[in-house]
């Protein structure tokens, strides 16, 4: 028999073995498990700055950077690719960048549309507010409300990157340059932010509400409503020069190849040297200018609230051609390749050849157009006042001019009586034979305000000159001809509203007799 002491020792031994076994099992189990940490959910809408941008470049209002209002591509608006309705008017203008189309509506909704799949990729709601045009830099989209709220979104899904705020009402679409994104307020305060973090880098107070900011090289060019134009170093806000036009400015400023173009509500276009601010030239326009200028192929185009478009030589300021439209031009003209598009408050898009103003296409809509047209080089995107967007496919440009044979009955005499007729859908063609070399003045002398398109063509149909005559704006233009040269003068209405109106065309020699 076991003694009581033996039984007690055996019991303790069994307990010890059991404890060791339990400890072994616990250690083994813990060795296969990750350390327990506090489970903190990651905010979906606050992911912080990305390590590096996935896309190079930027885009914004009127193409961003210099606000050139110019896009790559060829052709004129043709067939409708698609239409969509946003349910609310678009704030300022949409922006195209790489394969995305960015739109902010006045009900506070930002959208990215995929131009590859033609669908809405994401939306983000901000609540009722008014906005300037969005800006895209690399993989970040900046949405700016007039009340000063700035929101940086990830391009891939619209999630929040950072928020910031500036004091005062924002009156100019932001501009971007290396390492800085710029915002301007009605108070005259210009603020440079770090585009990755939203930290303020510098501030500068200018005179008057800021209406336009453009970038060129390492400079910012800023215009104020009071008529002052400033050049500022983008990196630190240091001033370079200041120029006072003493004329109110409402439109975006444009900067291109060493020249700053500024348009005014007094009806003028100014070309300033970007390094000094000295005025190279100015051109007086027919009517105030509310939309920005467009620059391409050595030509700067402006369109006025009076419905007149001017094409000006960049180097000299000389007028190359002008066009009288219908309705007000609130939005700025847009250059696409070798054509320029004008959109008016009556819903009309008129496309003209950039070089000579020859009309290539006309498209009419039911709603007014007050936002800038944008393009992705294969399509044109048009926003109507009610919030509808129409995408047109760019198609080959039609041939301008048609070879025509006329007899002496259709001849218009130099220094002879006016040739009278009525504007119709069929162009009136008149034969003109130059009896000497030099300039000839072509005049519509019927004192009718009906806009009339008058084109001078050679007999192969090539355009020599074209202008848009209207008694209260411009009733004549000149053309250089060689003695014995035979040309066609083509007379047609600018639009269907003036069909049946009378014209009285006469040609006079104005050279040395």
Q: Which residues of 25-54 are buried (b: 16+ CB within 10 A; e: fewer)?
A: eeeeeeeeeeeeeeeeeeeeeeeebeeebe
Q: What is the C-alpha separation between 206 and 186, in angstroms, rounded?
A: 10
More confident of the two residues 110 and 117: 110
Task: Count helices and strands (H / E) in the chain.
Answer: 1, 42
What phi and psi, each to the nearest 5 degrees, are found at residue 466? Answer: -150, 140
Q: Looking at residue 460, what is its pLDDT?
A: 64
Least confident of 116-125, 223-232, 356-365: 356-365
Q: What is the pLDDT of residues 25-48, one digit of tens each?
A: 433 443 433 322 222 232 222 233
Are the C-beta atoms of 348 and 329 separated by less than 8 Å? no
The residues facing 412 across adjacent strands are none
Centroid of chain to Cα 8: 96
The model's pLDDT over 239-286, given as tens digits with 9 standing for 90+, comes to: 999 999 999 999 889 999 999 999 999 999 999 999 999 999 999 998
Q: Is the pLDDT of residue 448 over 90?
A: no
Separation CA 148–CA 168 (nearest Å): 6
What is the Rg, in whole angstroms, of the alpha carbon atoms belonging to the chain? 33
Ranking 156-165, 198-207, 469-478 by mean pLDDT, the lowest is: 469-478
- Are 184 and 172 within 8 A, CB to CB? yes
pLDDT confidence of residue 408: 66
The two three-digit tokens of residue 87, written as one number: 């349910």
Query: Which residues are bridge partners to 164 per DSSP?
Result: 150
Other CB atoms closer than 10 Å to residue 186's CB: what's the count? 18
| Confidence (pLDDT) at 101 | 94
| Contact status, residue 294 vs residue 69, Cβ threshold 8 Å | yes
Tell me what pLDDT residue 385 has. Answer: 84
Q: What is the pLDDT of residues 211-238, one digit of tens each?
A: 889 999 889 999 999 999 999 999 999 9
The region of weakest confidence among 17-21, 183-187, 232-236, 409-413 is: 17-21
Structure confidence at residue 442 as a pLDDT band (50, 70, 90)? very high
């Amino acid at each position: 028999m076991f003694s009581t002491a033996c039984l007690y020792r055996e019991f303790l031994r069994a307990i010890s073995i059991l404890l060791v076994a339990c400890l072994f099992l616990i250690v083994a189990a813990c060795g296969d498990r990750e350390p327990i940490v506090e489970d903190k959910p990651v905010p979906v809408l606050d992911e912080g700055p990305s390590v590096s941008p996935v896309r190079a470049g930027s885009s914004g209002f009127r193409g961003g950077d210099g606000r050139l209002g110019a896009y790559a591509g060829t052709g004129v608006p043709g067939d409708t690719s698609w239409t969509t309705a946003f349910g609310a008017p678009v704030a300022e203008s949409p922006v195209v960048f790489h394969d995305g189309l960015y739109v902010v509506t006045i009900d506070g909704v930002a959208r990215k549309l995929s131009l590859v799949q033609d669908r809405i990729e994401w939306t983000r709601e901000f609540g009722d507010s008014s906005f300037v045009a969005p800006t895209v830099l690399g993989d970040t989209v900046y949405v700016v409300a007039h009340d000063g709220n700035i929101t940086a979104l990830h391009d891939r899904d619209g999630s929040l990157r950072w928020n910031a705020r500036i004091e005062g009402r924002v009156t100019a679409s932001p501009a971007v340059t290396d390492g800085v994104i710029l915002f301007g307020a009605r108070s005259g305060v210009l603020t440079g932010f770090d585009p990755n973090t939203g930290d303020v880098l510098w501030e500068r107070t200018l005179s008057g509400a800021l209406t336009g900011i453009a970038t060129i090289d390492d400079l910012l060019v800023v215009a104020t409503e009071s008529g002052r134009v400033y050049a500022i170093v983008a990196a630190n806000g240091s001033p370079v020069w200041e120029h006072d036009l003493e004329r109110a400015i409402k439109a975006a400023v444009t900067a291109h190849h060493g020249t700053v173009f500024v348009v005014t509500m007094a009806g003028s276009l100014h070309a300033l040297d970007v390094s000094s601010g000295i005025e190279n030239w100015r051109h007086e326009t027919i009517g105030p200018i509310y939309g920005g200028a467009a620059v391409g192929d050595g030509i700067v185009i402006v369109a006025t609230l009076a419905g007149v478009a001017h094409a000006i030589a960049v180097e000299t300021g000389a007028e190359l051609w002008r066009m009288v439209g219908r309705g007000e031009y609130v939005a700025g003209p847009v250059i696409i390749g070798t054509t320029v598009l004008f959109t008016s408050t009556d819903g009309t898009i008129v496309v003209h050849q950039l070089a000579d103003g020859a009309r290539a296409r006309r498209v009419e809509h039911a709603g007014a157009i007050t936002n800038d047209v944008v393009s992705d080089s294969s399509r044109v995107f048009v926003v109507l006042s009610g919030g509808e967007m129409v995408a047109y496919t760019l198609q080959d440009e039609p041939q301008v001019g048609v070879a025509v044979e006329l007899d002496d009955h259709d001849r218009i005499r130099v220094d002879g009586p006016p040739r009278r007729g009525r504007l119709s859908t069929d162009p009136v063609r008149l034969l003109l034979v130059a009896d000497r070399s030099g300039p000839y003045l072509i005049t519509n002398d019927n004192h009718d305000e009906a806009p009339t398109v008058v084109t001078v063509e050679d007999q192969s149909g090539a355009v020599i000159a074209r202008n848009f005559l209207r008694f209260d704006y411009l009733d004549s233009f000149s053309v250089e001809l060689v003695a014995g040269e035979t040309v066609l003068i083509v007379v047609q209405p600018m639009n269907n509203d003036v069909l049946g109106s009378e014209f009285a065309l006469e040609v006079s020699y104005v050279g040395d007799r």
